[in-house]
Structure 1
Amino acid sequence: MASTIKVNLPQQSYDIAIAPGGLDRLGESMAGLKLGKKVLLVSNPTVFQHYGQRAIASLQTAGFEVVSCILPDGENYKTLESLQKIYDVAVENRLERSSTMVALGGGVIGDMTGFAAATWLRGINFVQVPTTLLAMVDAAIGGKTGVNHPQGKNLIGAFHQPGLVLIDPEVLQTLPVREFRAGMAEVIKYGVIWDAQLFAELEASQHLDAMGDMKSELIDSILVRSCQAKADVVSKDEKEAGLRAILNYGHTIGHAVESLTGYTQVLHGEAVAIGMVAAGHIAVELGMWTQQETERQNALIEKAGLPTKLPVGLDIEATIEALQIDKKVKAGKVRFVLPTQIGVVKVTDQVPSDTIRQVLRGM
């Protein structure tokens, strides 16, 4: 089932095309965007082995000249050093202002390619071809790009919108189970912050922890409803001036968990799951939502095979300190996205440190 979702923005609107088999029509899809001939395809070894040649063949058939840059796989490689490799290939192949960078991979590849495109010659074209569930429903949409600093996640970055997001659900068949589950964290997030009907659909499903056990209709619904939720929010608030902050649900504590474990132990989606559990408990402590609702959320997180406890040995005080380096800190106050009911959240900076400490100790 193919569908197209529009991200409406003042400067540059674009389509999210969800199309089974769409990878083989990548060149054709890009041909209509009035792009220059040169394309730099960025990927990692695993994804490139599966899909690189198909993407390149499609681009070449449509008349594009393609070069590629293969970066190591993993959040711990989301660095300025990796970015330098993209720039080096861009210099060698004389990428021009009309040229395009194509990200073929998960959120790490998408974020780095987008940032390289945002900063190369002060900004060139960029297309997202996400290959993980997490990137399809979240990271590839909305124009947030960047790399990590050893002290914090995504501290170096820019807003740079893609010209197209092409999602081919068939590529999920080669996605490792753990990565699929990590993506489900962001899907559950949309259910909690925006789409109560999506939450109900997930609750009604028998299986959420492996794609092979899920009905194709549910996969379609997950992709369409999640992408629509992200598009709705980004269209209303492109640069996170207000509403878009709700997309950070689970990310405040999640990012602290990621940076304190060196981006190597916990996947982004797993950290978000832990962060959502913590946010739910904080909301209960502050009397914002009910114990029953937090239990429904946590049951869904468990059903998706995701963690609900902090990593063993994580230092609680170091976690609270790490929150101060988060991008979402404003006037020295940590902002939390907290649920008030399934489908509705609010942003607040009125969370006492003692409440955070108490909740983390309980996890």
Structure 2
Amino acid sequence: MKLITTGNNLCRIMVSDEYTELANILYELVERDQKYDKVVIVTDENVEVNLYDDFVKSIFSITNSKKFSKVCIKPGEESKCLETFNELISKFIDFGMSRKSLVIAFGGGVVGDLAGFAAATYMRGIDYIQVPTTILSQVDSAIGGKTGIDVGVYKNMIGAFKQPLFTYINTETLKTLPSDELKSGFGEIIKYAAIMDDDGEFEKFLYDNSVEVKCLDNEKIIKAIMKCAEFKARIVKADEKETGLRKILNFGHTFGHAMEMEYSLKHGEAVAIGMKIAFRVALAKGYIKKDYYDKFVELIDKYDFEFDFGKIDVERLVEIIKKDKKNSFGDISVILPDASSCVGIFKMSSDDIEAILKKEFNFM
């Protein structure tokens, strides 16, 4: 597959099915131009087993391996914490990294968020590259410069905006993912269908091609990833620091983050369930019609996202939502659908949310 370059001057994105072009770029940066004195690859134990050897084989075929070091963290959201962050920074110091060093985040969303935050803060900021290996990170977390770590059950409470030099997507890595990771990525892809404001074109594509997308049909999955990546890059360029428009990318996340933390769900799965809740709230508030609600929930269900809403402790859920970093002045900021393939930003009180959830989902 020929390398595809997309995005813009703020969010540079490259898509391929191999690492040859990435190896060439690193050769130019590290060897030919001597721009970086050291390079540290941050990855996790799962990626190390399945992908790391092929990755470095491509790079070291033309670049001096002596300039490279590796840090391997434990997989999972639990590693996105202060303890692991401190360990990572300590490794940077041990390796003798300077302001002229480079970090490569090689893994999924946790690796990207953690390594990106370490790069954003080490010596007040050094360069990094995102090399995402999951659907979720390829369409969302590795694009746009959001980095951060969690504090207890509260997601991304410490972080920084720092754009990577570029994001390099290799679609072949998806073939190594377990089914739950693939499913998680599909949740984030579906999110874009609700916010893209394209007269339902992407929603229809995902509905009509659900079997092919879930089976990673090469043409269909590349099209889905490209659509999401291009849209996110456009939104980020318009609102890099999330003061307005970029907030729509958080659709499904206000409820989803709370669900993820309280019920140990995969991020994309939580987002999909969060979207179901958001659609139900929007329907209750009269923002959307029943036929659109039914149609979109059916799309979510085609990607096998089911949840027993009856088991949720709604008061606990609302308490977590109240701690969301996007809230201000005592109000909860919620992204809700307000038309077909379109969302809006709404302010709601915690009491209003609690009342709607208890009524609409018969929470105990």
TM-score, normalising length from structure 2? 0.92
Q: Give distance in 2, aligned partners of 1:14 and 1:257.
A: 30
Task: Look up the match of 1:40.
Answer: 40
| Larger displacement relative to structure 2 (280-289 or 199-208) | 199-208
The correspondence for 1:201, drawn from 202, 205, 226, is: 205
Post-superposition shift, 1:110? 0.4
Q: Give distance in 2, aligned partners of 1:209 and 1:202.
A: 8
Q: Give distance in 2, aligned partners of 1:134 and 1:155.
A: 20
- Change in CA separation of 1:257 and 1:251 when aligned onto 2, cut-off 3 Å: same
Q: Give distance in 2, aligned partners of 1:90 and 1:206.
A: 43
Task: Look up the match of 2:214.
Answer: 210
Is the partner of 2:318 in helix, strand or coil?
helix
Post-superposition shift, 1:217? 1.6
**1:286 is matched by which residue type in structure 2?**
K
Alignment of 1:88-237 (within 5 A): 88-194=90-196, 195=198, 196-207=200-211, 210-211=214-215, 214-237=216-239
- Change in CA separation of 1:290 and 1:30 when aligned onto 2, cut-off 3 Å: farther
- Change in CA separation of 1:184 and 1:20 when aligned onto 2, cut-off 3 Å: same
Matched, 1:27 2:26: no
Matched, 1:6 2:7: yes
Q: Give distance in 2, aligned partners of 1:339 and 1:349.
A: 13
Q: Give distance in 2, aligned partners of 1:209 and 1:3.
A: 20
**2:14 is matched by which residue type in structure 1?**
A
- Check the 8 A contact 1:24/1:55 in 2, yes or no: no
Q: Give distance in 2, aligned partners of 1:295 and 1:32.
A: 52
- Check the 8 A contact 2:357/2:363 in 1, yes or no: no
**Percent pairwise identity:** 34
Q: Give distance in 1, aligned partners of 2:212 and 2:291.
A: 21
Alignment of 1:227-306 (within 5 A): 227-261=229-263, 265-306=264-305
Post-superposition shift, 1:57? 3.0
Post-superposition shift, 1:24? 4.0
- Check the 8 A contact 1:37/1:63 in 2, yes or no: no
| Larger displacement relative to structure 2 (267-276 or 33-42) | 33-42
Deviation string, structure 1 residues 112-161 (Cα, Å, up to 9, x no partner): 00000001010001101100000000010001111111141111111111
- Check the 8 A contact 1:134/1:269 in 2, yes or no: yes
Q: Give distance in 1, aligned partners of 2:361 and 2:8.
A: 37
Q: Give distance in 1, aligned partners of 2:91 and 2:139.
A: 29
- Change in CA separation of 1:209 and 1:258 when aligned onto 2, cut-off 3 Å: same
- Check the 8 A contact 2:312/2:363 in 1, yes or no: no
**1:147 is matched by which residue type in structure 2?**
I
Q: Which runs of 5+ in 1 are unaligned?
A: none
- Check the 8 A contact 1:191/1:342 in 2, yes or no: no
**2:38 is matched by which residue type in structure 1?**
K
Q: Give distance in 2, aligned partners of 1:236 and 1:117.
A: 24
Task: Look up the match of 2:362.
Answer: 361
Task: Look up the match of 2:78.
Answer: 76
- Check the 8 A contact 2:44/2:74 in 1, yes or no: yes
Task: Look up the match of 1:348.
Answer: 346
- Check the 8 A contact 1:75/1:108 in 2, yes or no: yes
Coordinate RMSD, CA, aligned:
1.8
Post-superposition shift, 1:208? 6.0
Q: Give distance in 2, aligned partners of 1:339 and 1:166.
A: 31
- Check the 8 A contact 1:316/1:360 in 2, yes or no: no
- Check the 8 A contact 1:42/1:104 in 2, yes or no: yes
- Change in CA separation of 1:19 and 1:209 when aligned onto 2, cut-off 3 Å: closer
**2:331 is matched by which residue type in structure 1?**
K
| Larger displacement relative to structure 2 (265-274 or 194-203) | 194-203
TM-score, normalising length from structure 1? 0.92
Alignment of 1:330-341 (within 5 A): 330-341=328-339
Q: Give distance in 1, aligned partners of 2:204 and 2:76.
A: 33
